[in-house]
Structure 1
C-alpha cells in the first residue's frame, strides 16, 4: 500500500470529522425547537438538491452499478438511516462532547469487525488496545451511575450503524462513483424521514432556524462525501484512528456554543479510547517502516 494513499485517507478522515461535528452543532442548536424528523427531512431535501446537481454535472447518474454493489449500497442506506436516528436522538438529549466521546470507539469497532469479517490479522498488541479502549467506553457510558442516561445506549447503537456503513462502503468496487453513493444516501435519508414524519405537526421556522438547517446541509454534504472517499483510500486500520480529531471539535464547540464541558471521568474515558486508537496508529506506522526497508509482505 502506497504511503500517499494512507496520508490522503488520514486527511479525508479529519475533514470528515470536522464537517460532521459542525453539522451536529447546527442540528443540536435546534433541539427542542424543531422536531427531529422535520429537521432530517428538510436537511435531506437541501442535500439531495445540491448533491444531485453535482452528481449530474459529473455525469455519475448514468453510472452502471453491479448487482453486488447495489446490495452494498442498500445495506449502507439502512445503516445510514439508523445512524442518523440514533445519533441525533442522543445528541438532542446529551452534551455534544459526551456523545462524540462515545463515538471515539469507532476506530476500535471498525478494526475489530474488519478483523472478524475480513480475517485481517491485527496482532495481540492492537487487540489489547481495543479491549482497553472498550474499558474507556464504559467509563464514558457508566451504566448504573447517578448521571447515567439511556441515550448513551442510543449513541452505542449509532456506533454499530456507522461501523456497518463504513465496512459496507469499504467493500464497494472502485468503479462505483463516490458521488453516486452520496446521492443515493441523501435520497434515502430524505425519503425515510419524510414518510416517518407524515401526520406530525410541523413547527414554524424563523430565519435563525433556516440558516442553521442550511448550514447543517452544507456540512453534511462534506461529511457524506469525505466519509465515502476515506473508506476507499488507504488501509482501514491506519485511517480509522484519525476519527479522534472529532472529539477536539466537539469539546471546543460544545463549550463555546452550548457551555457544556464533560465530567472528569468522561474525559478520562475519552482519553483512554483515543489513546488506544493512537497506539494502533503507532503500531501500523512501525510495521509500515519495517515493510519499507525489508520489501516483504507486511504482517498486520
Structure 2
C-alpha cells in the first residue's frame, strides 16, 4: 500500500475533527440533561472522578507520573485551576441557558485565544486579524442582545467560560514539553472533583442519588467526551493545524441540530446571525494565519 499523501492526511484529519465535534455536541446534550435533573456540581464531580480514572490508567500505560509535585505549581497548576473554573461556568450555562445560545457563544473561544496570545505571549497578530477579532466580539453582542428585552443574563456564564478557557489554552502553550498529554488530562479531570463539591456547597445542594436513567446519562456524557477528546488529539496530530482547526466550528452545527431535535429549542434569528458573524470571523482569522505561515514554511 502506498504511503498516505499530505492531502490524504489532511482529509482524514478533517473528518476526524468533525467526528470529535459531533461527540462533544452529544456530550453537551447528556451533560445538560444531567445538570437539569441533578445538582450541577454533583454532575461535575462525578464526571471528573470517572474521567480521571480513565486518563490515569492511560497515563500509567505510558509511564507518565500523576502524583507529582509538578502538578501543584507553575503552569500545570494554573491550567488545572482554569480548567476547573471554566467547567463550573460551563455546567451552569448548560443547566440554565439554551444549548443553542451556549454553543454559539462558545465559538468565540479561538478568537479570544488569538487575542490573548498577542497580548500576553508576544505572538504577531496583524491588523486584519485584530479586525476579525473585533468583528467576532460584535457577533457575541448580537447573540447576547444586551440592549433588548430578549437579553438572557445566563449567556454571560458562557462568555466568562470562554475567557477562562483562553487562560487554560494559553497556559497549555507555555507548559514544559516533558509533561505528557495524559498527565495534563488526568490533572484536569481531578480538578473537577473539588470544583464540583465547592459548587454544591456554594449552591447549598447535597448529593442526590441518581436513578438508573441518570447514571446512563452520566455514562453517555463520559463516553462521548472521551471519544471526542481522543479524536481531537488524533486530528491535530494527523493533519496540519491550519487546515484542521477550522473544522472545530462544525460543533455548532451538531449542537444546534441536537438542540432542535432533542430539546425542542428554536434558536432566535439574532443567535443565528451572531453565530454566523463569530464563525466567519474565526475562519478569516485562521485563513490569515495560514497565509502568513506559508512563506515561512
TM bucket normalised to smaller: 0.7 to 0.9
Output the CA distance in 1 between the equivalents of 2:13 and 2:82: 22
Q: 1:92-131 counterparts in 2 under 5 A?
A: 92-131=95-134
**Structure 2 CA distance for partners of 1:98 and 1:196, relative to 1, 3 Å:** closer
- Secondary structure class of the residue paired with 2:214: helix
Q: For structure 2, list consecutive stretches of 5 or more residues without a partner in the other structure.
A: 1-5
Q: 1:212 aligns with which of 211, 214, 217?
A: 217
Output the CA distance in 1 between the equivalents of 2:120 and 2:9: 23
1:65 CA drift (Å): 7.7
Output the CA distance in 1 between the equivalents of 2:222 and 2:249: 23
Q: 1:251-266 counterparts in 2 under 5 A?
A: 251-266=256-271
Find out whether 1:167 has 2:167 as its counterpart.
no
Q: 1:75-154 counterparts in 2 under 5 A?
A: 75-154=78-157
Find out whether 1:200 has 2:208 as its counterpart.
no
Question: What is the CA deviation profile of residues 64-107 of structure 1, one whole-angstrom value per residue up to 9, with x for unaligned ones?
Answer: 7868x941111111111111111111111121111010111111
Aligned length: 290
**Structure-2-length-normalised TM-score:** 0.85
CA RMSD, Structure 1 to Structure 2 (Å): 3.1
Q: 1:6-21 counterparts in 2 under 5 A?
A: 14=18, 16-21=20-25
**Structure 2 CA distance for partners of 1:36 and 1:159, relative to 1, 3 Å:** same
**Structure 2 CA distance for partners of 1:103 and 1:268, relative to 1, 3 Å:** same
- Secondary structure class of the residue paired with 1:38: helix
Output the CA distance in 1 between the equivalents of 2:241 and 2:159: 21
Find out whether 1:282 has 2:287 as its counterpart.
yes
Output the CA distance in 2 between the equivalents of 1:250 and 1:227: 17
Residue 61 of structure 2 corresponds to which residue in structure 1?
57
**Structure-1-length-normalised TM-score:** 0.84
Q: For structure 1, list consecutive stretches of 5 or more residues without a partner in the other structure.
A: 293-300
